Amino acid sequence: MRVPAEVLVATGVFGASVKEQLRHARGEYVLIVDGATAPGRWFEALWEQRLTAGLIIGTRADPDAREAGDGPVRRFALRMYRRLLSLPVLPDASVILARCAALGTLPEADDRFEWLLEAIVLAHSDGWPVRTLNGMSAGRPQTIRLQPAALWRLWVLRNSAFSADYDERAFNSVVPLQRYWQRTRHRIIHGWVDPETRILDVGCGSSRIVQDLPRAVGLDVQMKKLRRISPRTQKVVQATLTQLPFRCGAFETLICSQVIEHVPEPLVDWCEMNRVLSLGGIFVVGTPDYATVAWPALERVYGIVHPKGYVHEHINQYTAASLRHALESHGFEVITSAYVGRAELIIKARKVAPCANK
C-alpha cells in the first residue's frame, strides 16, 4: 500500500543516506530534510503545491530579507551555478518535496549541494517542472562547494541531447549557428502550414514548432519530451511511427521534422502517415541531406564539439532523391523544397492518393 508522503531524514553522508532511503520509499512523494529538522506547519505550504511540480525546493530565503550567512558571495555563487547549468530555479534548498517518479534516476553525488544540483538537473531533464517555495522556517542553509570535475559532470548531463528541453533550448541557444539553424527550420515549416488546420507533429520532441501551433497535436515516443511541452501544447500523445492512434484522415496537415533519420528504415511507416492525413492534406518532412557537401562536414564537426548530441543517432542517411522517391512511392506529390544551411532538406508535399501498400 502506497502512502501519500514519506519523510526522509538525511544523516551522515547526505547522498548515500537519501539514496538508501529512497530505494525503500513507498510514498508517492518524499520530503527530504536534514537530521536537525522535523516537519511542522511549513510542510502544509509545500504540500499544497505538490501538484504544481515534480520537485519543489523549499528555502529559508526571504525575497525581502537576508538570512545570516546569505552574503553577496554566496548569492553570486548560486546565480553562477544556475546560469552555468541552465537551471530553472536557484539551487538553494533547506527542504525538498519530490514526487518519487521525478527522482526515478537517483543522483550519484554524496555532497549535499552537489546532490541538490544533480537532482534538479535530472528532474528537469526528465521533463518534470521544478519550482522554488521561499520562506520555509525549516532546515538549514547549505554549504556551497563543488569540485571542477563535479561541475563538468553535471554540465555534460544537463546538455545531453536526450534532455527533455534540448530542442527548446536550441531555439534560444547562445551558439549563433545552432540558433540560426533552429529558427530557420521553424520559419520554413511555419510558413508552409496553415495554423488553423488540424495538425499532427510526429516526433515533435520539445521543439518550438509544435508549441507555436495552437491547434497542433504533438506525438512522440519519449514521455519526458511530452511532459515538457504539455503545458503549452493543445494535446500530446505517446506513440510510435508504426502505430499512430488516430482514425484515417484525421489531420489536414502532418509535420515530421528531424525524425526519420533516427528510425530504422523498416519502421519509417510512410503508409501509416499517409493514412492519418486527409486527401489533399499537406505533409512537411525534414531530414539531413547526405548528398550535400555541407551536411557530412557539419556532422563530423558537431560530433567532436558535442559528443553527447544527436550525431550517433542518425542511422538513416537520406538524400533529396531518396526522400522524394519515398514520398512519391507512398501517395504523395512533392510541391516544393528548401534547405537550412544548404544541408538540411525540408520538403512540402501533398497527399494525392491512399498508400497502395496499406
Residue 12 falls within a domain, yes or no? Answer: yes
pLDDT band at 304 (very low <50, low <70, confident <90, very high): confident
Same domain, 218 and 234: yes
Of 38-42, 207-211, 278-282, the range with the lowest mean pLDDT is: 38-42
Are 173 and 135 part of one and the same domain? Answer: no
Identify whether the C-beta of residue 134 lies closer than 8 Å to the C-beta of residue 140. no
User: Which cell numbers hold the place of 47?
Assistant: 504540500
| Region of poorest pLDDT, from 123-137, 209-223, 267-281, 305-319 | 305-319
- Examine the fold and report which residue of 137, 158, 179 is the final residue of a domain before the chain moves on: 158
Instruction: Please provide residue 107's backbone torsions phi and psi, each rounded to the nearest 5 degrees.
Output: -60, 145
Query: How, if at all, do strands 29-34 and 5-10 pair?
Result: parallel
Report the CATH number at residue 62. 3.90.550.10
Among the candidates 158, 180, 215, a domain finishes at 158
Residue 143 CB burial class (10 angstroms; 0-12, 13-18, ≥19): exposed
356 belongs to a structural domain: no
Query: How far apart are alpha carbons 171 and 118 in whole angstroms?
Result: 24
172 and 146 share one domain: no
- Rounded to whole angstroms, the Cα distance separating 324 from 315 reads 18
227's grid cell? 511532459
> HSE on the CB side for 269, CA within 13 Å?
15
Mean pLDDT of 168-190: 94
Identify whether residues 266 and 133 lie together within a single domain. no
For residue 163, with 0-12 CB atoms within 10 Å meaning exposed, 13-18 middle and 19 or more buried, which class applies? buried
Q: What are phi and psi of 37, to 5 degrees?
A: -120, 145
pTM attached to this predicted model:
0.89
Q: Which amino acid is at 340?
A: V
Write the pLDDT tens digit of every residue in 145-164.
899 999 999 998 998 888 99
Helices (H), 68-111: 72-84
pLDDT at 2 over 60: no
In this structure, of 74-83, 219-228, 296-305, the range with the lowest mean pLDDT score is: 296-305
The total number of structural domains that make up the chain: 2
Residue 180 confidence class, pLDDT cut points 50, 70, 90 = very high
Judge whether 218 lies within some domain. Answer: yes
Q: Do 25 and 111 sit in the same domain of this protein?
A: yes
Distance CA 22, CA 34 (A): 14
Q: Which amino acid is at 197?
A: T
Q: What is the pLDDT of residues 85-117, one digit of tens each?
A: 999 999 988 889 999 999 988 899 999 899 999
pLDDT recorded at residue 22: 86
For residues 132 and 185, state if they share a domain.
no
Q: Are residues 179 and 254 in the same domain?
A: yes
Whether 107 and 209 map to the same domain: the answer is: no
Question: Residue-wise over 231-257: b if at least 16 C-beta within 10 A, else e?
Answer: eebeebeeebbeebebeebbbbbbbbb
Q: Does some domain include residue 357?
A: no
Q: What per-residue confidence (pLDDT) applies to 38?
A: 55
Closest CA to 321 of 347, 300, 283, 358: 347
Q: Whole-angstrom Cα distance, residue 139 to residue 246?
A: 50
Q: Is residue 224 part of a domain?
A: yes
Handedness of CA 347, 286, 247, 329 (dihedral sign): positive
Angle CA 183–189–193, to nearest 5: 140
Q: What is the CATH number of the domain that holds 347?
A: 3.40.50.150
Domain boundary, last residue among 101, 131, 158:
158
Counts for the chain of helices (H) and strands (E), in that order: 12, 12
CA distances from 326 to 37, 67, 282, 289, 343 (A): 63, 64, 16, 14, 19
What is the span of the domain harbouring residue 87? 5-158
Q: What is the dihedral of CA 241, 243, 245, 251, to 10 degrees?
A: 50
pLDDT cut 70: percent of the chain above it: 90
One domain, residues 27 and 143: yes
Q: Are residues 288 and 267 in the same domain?
A: yes
Comparing C-alpha atoms, which of 212, 296, 306 is closest to residue 261? 296
pLDDT in tens, 67-89: 555 678 888 999 999 999 999 99
Assigned domain for 358 exists = no
Whether residue 14 is found in the same domain as residue 130: yes
